Amino acid sequence: MSEAVLTARNVSIEYEVDPPVKAVRDVSLTLNRGEILGLAGESGCGKTTLAYGMNRLLKAPALMTGGEILFHDRDGSDIDVVGLDGEGLRAFRWDKISMVFQGAMNSLNPVIPVRAQIFDIFDTHRPGMSRRDRQARAEELLTLVGVEPTRLTSFPHELSGGMRQRMMIAMALALDPQVMIMDEPTTALDVVVQRGIIREIMRLRERLGFAVIFITHDLPMLIEISDRIAVMLQGRIVEEGTAEEIYRNPQHDYTKKLLSSFPSLRGERGDFVRTGAQPGTEAVR
Tell me the pLDDT tens digit for each residue of 18-72.
999 999 999 999 999 999 999 999 989 999 999 999 999 999 999 999 999 999 9
Q: Are 4 and 72 in contact (CB under 8 A)?
A: yes
Across the range 177-195, mean pLDDT stands at 85
Structural domain boundaries, residue 256: 4-96+215-284
Q: Is residue 71 part of a domain?
A: yes
Q: Is residue 112 part of a domain?
A: no
Q: Check residue 105 and give its pLDDT.
A: 62
Tally of domains in the chain: 1
Contacts of 271 (CB under 8 A, 6+ apart): 277, 283, 284
**Amino acid in position 183:** D
Greatest mean pLDDT among 134-138, 185-189, 203-207:
134-138
User: Which of 7-16, 198-207, 216-225, 263-272 comes out lowest in average pLDDT?
Assistant: 263-272
115-163 per-position pLDDT tens digit:
999 999 999 999 999 999 999 999 999 999 999 999 999 999 999 888 9
Residues of the chain above pLDDT 70, percent: 90
Q: Is residue 148 part of a domain?
A: no
Q: Check residue 162 and give its pLDDT.
A: 87
Q: Is residue 221 part of a domain?
A: yes
Does residue 22 sit in helix, strand or coil? strand
Q: Is residue 101 part of a domain?
A: no
CATH of the domain at 254: 3.40.50.300
Global pTM value:
0.88
- The torsion of the CA quartet 244, 249, 255, 257, rounded to 10 degrees, works out to 120
Q: Check residue 268 and give its pLDDT.
A: 63
Across the range 169-176, mean pLDDT stands at 94
Q: What are phi and psi of 168, to 5 degrees?
A: -65, -35
Q: Is residue 260 part of a domain?
A: yes
Q: Is residue 190 part of a domain?
A: no
Residues of the chain above pLDDT 90, percent: 70
Q: Is residue 186 part of a domain?
A: no
Confidence label for 285 from pLDDT (cuts 50, 70 and 90):
very low
Torsion sign (Cα): 10, 23, 219, 231: positive
| Kind plus residue range of the DSSP H or E element containing 250 | none
